[in-house]
């Protein structure tokens, strides 16, 4: 995940999960655990030894997280209680703070010697990538082998927490964290509005374009977008991009890896379509003049047929729209498979200088286990694993869970485009505003994107 405000990226439901702690009481996080951190200068965890977490002696495990809201906090409180019940020799000393506060604290702490044992680290290049490059995070590959994380997590999810040891390549290489939750960018829509148009949920991008045209002809606003903050437009362009550009190339661009180009024919077609939507009023009269929150609020009150947006909006919008609110993954990409922007909750990592790496790995394994996914779902969050299985029986959350499961397991979970370079959030956000407002042509904006990308990869 990257630099979007945290309350806009996660479900906000709140319900106590403490009663569910017993579910995990009998679940050991693994039969063995490494006992030491890496030697100075080496950030790979030591080879596992045959040591159960219960045999580590008395440990105070210092954990920093940003799971402060509703379901996020409730689920983690329940999981910590279950972990301490299973391993009474390990006491969790937890500090929970806002995303922005944690981001600032982590940057300071990792450069010193007094570090937490477990910390949530934003996995974009400007955060996790920089920490990996500086040798400040532990490569968790040996723990992954021990606990079976490669089997538990799909490759599309683990790719969001992989870097080469020099941080040059993102999406491949060593493992530097594990997430608990998932998120997906798709298309919300009003079933009543589609019915009034005589349309059904689009199965192809051509279907989607035709419904947008029909809505506009009928006097309806086709889509809703509030883009003052700049980043919301990336959640419209990113999924659209996959209709014109091979998903593997979108991944290269979105992760700032070599081998693709922003000025390709496909990217030009995608940006031209996006510009058309902006200039011809498909997002209303002034998407760049509307804030993100008022935009989706207007949608719940009857403005627009479609709202391209993230899964984290589902809870609040369903509270207003009820059964009228639906969600779908975007239509299949140019390769015929589902592909859309998405990712995970902020992953849990282990600093290279952590004093209790073995206990830290056991904790991370425990809070990302199959059983942990049940507690996350019970508390209103979207678990990154077993998502379709744990989906609600009905409603928009069922749509969201099932869409994430299908894309992450069978398709391509495309990176947030602002992952690409440390400066790409501003480059892309500004460029999409400019093309929406007609200040720059699609070709000019893509040239700016390409310049940022090439400067970063050394092209």
Q: Are residues 252 and 377 in the same domain?
A: no
Tokens of 164: 């080469």
pLDDT at 171: 93
Contact 362, 52 (CB under 8 A): no
Q: For 247-270, what is the HEC assignment?
A: HHHHHHHHCCCCCCCCCCHHHHHH
CB atoms within 10 A of CB 209: 18
Domain extent at residue 238:
184-343+406-457
Q: Is residue 17 part of a domain?
A: yes
Q: Are residues 212 and 149 in the same domain?
A: no
Q: Which of 20, 407, 364 is nearest to 182 (CA)?
A: 407
What Cα–Cα distance (Å) separates residue 151 from each residue in 43, 266, 369, 408? 23, 35, 12, 14
Q: Are residues 146 and 256 in the same domain?
A: no
pLDDT at 308: 98
Q: Is residue 221 part of a domain?
A: yes
Q: Is residue 22 part of a domain?
A: yes
Q: Are residues 434 and 285 in the same domain?
A: yes
Q: Are residues 216 and 237 in the same domain?
A: yes
Q: Give the global pTM.
A: 0.83
pLDDT at 47: 54
Q: Are residues 263 and 281 in the same domain?
A: yes
Q: Is residue 227 part of a domain?
A: yes
pLDDT at 254: 95
Q: Which residues are bridge partners to 449 per DSSP?
A: none
Tokens of 369: 């286990």
How far does CA 42 lie from the centroid of its chain? 29
pLDDT tens string, the chain, 459 residues long: the values are 333 333 333 333 333 333 333 333 333 333 333 333 333 345 776 655 546 899 899 999 999 998 887 778 888 999 999 999 999 999 999 999 888 888 889 989 998 889 999 999 988 888 899 999 999 999 999 999 999 999 999 998 999 999 999 999 999 999 999 999 999 999 999 999 999 999 999 999 999 999 999 999 999 999 999 999 999 999 999 999 999 999 999 999 999 999 999 999 999 999 999 999 999 999 999 999 999 999 999 999 999 999 999 998 998 899 999 999 999 999 999 999 999 999 898 999 999 999 999 999 999 999 999 999 999 998 888 999 999 999 999 999 999 999 999 999 999 999 999 889 989 999 999 999 999 999 999 999 999 999 999 999 987
Structural domains counted in the chain: 2
Q: Are residues 246 and 355 in the same domain?
A: no
Q: Is residue 393 part of a domain?
A: no
């Amino acid at each position: 995940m990257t630099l979007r405000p945290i309350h806009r990226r996660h479900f906000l439901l709140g319900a106590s999960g403490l009663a569910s702690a017993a579910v995990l009481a009998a679940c050991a996080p693994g039969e063995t655990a490494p006992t030491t951190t890496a030697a100075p200068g080496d950030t790979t965890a030591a080879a596992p030894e045959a040591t159960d977490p219960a045999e580590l002696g008395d440990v105070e495990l210092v954990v920093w997280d940003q799971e402060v809201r509703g379901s996020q906090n409730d689920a983690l409180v329940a999981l910590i209680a279950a972990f301490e019940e299973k391993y009474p020799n390990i006491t969790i000393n937890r500090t929970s703070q806002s995303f922005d506060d944690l981001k600032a604290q982590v940057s300071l702490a990792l450069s010193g010697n007094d570090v937490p044992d477990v910390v949530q680290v934003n996995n974009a290049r400007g955060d996790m990538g920089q920490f990996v490059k500086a040798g400040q995070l532990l490569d968790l590959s040996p723990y992954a082998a021990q606990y079976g994380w490669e089997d538990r997590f799909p490759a599309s999810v683990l790719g969001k927490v992989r870097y080469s040891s020099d941080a040059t390549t993102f999406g491949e290489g060593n493992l530097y964290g594990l997430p608990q939750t998932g998120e997906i960018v798709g298309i919300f829509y009003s079933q009543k509005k589609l019915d009034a148009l005589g349309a059904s949920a689009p199965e192809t991008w051509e279907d989607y374009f035709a419904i947008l045209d029909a809505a506009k002809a009928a006097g309806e606003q086709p889509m809703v977008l509030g883009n003052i903050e700049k980043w919301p437009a990336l959640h419209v362009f990113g999924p659209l991009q996959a209709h014109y550009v091979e998903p593997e190339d979108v991944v290269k661009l979105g992760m700032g890896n070599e081998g693709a180009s922003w000025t390709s024919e496909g990217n030009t077609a995608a940006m031209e379509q996006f510009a058309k939507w902006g200039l011809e009023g498909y997002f209303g009269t002034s998407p760049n003049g509307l804030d993100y929150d008022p935009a989706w609020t207007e949608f719940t009150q009857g403005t627009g047929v479609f709202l391209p947006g993230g899964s984290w909006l589902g809870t609040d919008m369903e509270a207003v729209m009820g059964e009228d609110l639906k969600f779908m993954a975007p239509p299949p990409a140019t390769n015929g498979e589902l592909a859309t922007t998405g990712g995970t909750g902020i992953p849990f990592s282990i600093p290279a200088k952590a004093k209790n790496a073995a206990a830290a790995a056991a904790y991370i394994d425990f809070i990302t286990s199959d059983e942990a996914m049940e507690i996350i779902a019970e508390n209103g969050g979207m678990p990154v694993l077993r998502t379709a299985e744990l989906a609600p029986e009905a409603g928009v959350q069922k749509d969201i869970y099932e869409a994430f499961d299908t894309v992450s397991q069978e398709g391509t979970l495309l990176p947030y485009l602002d992952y690409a370079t440390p400066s790409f959030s501003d480059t892309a956000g500004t460029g999409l505003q400019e093309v929406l407002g007609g200040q720059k042509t699609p070709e000019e904006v893509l040239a700016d994107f390409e310049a940022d990308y090439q400067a970063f990869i050394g092209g």
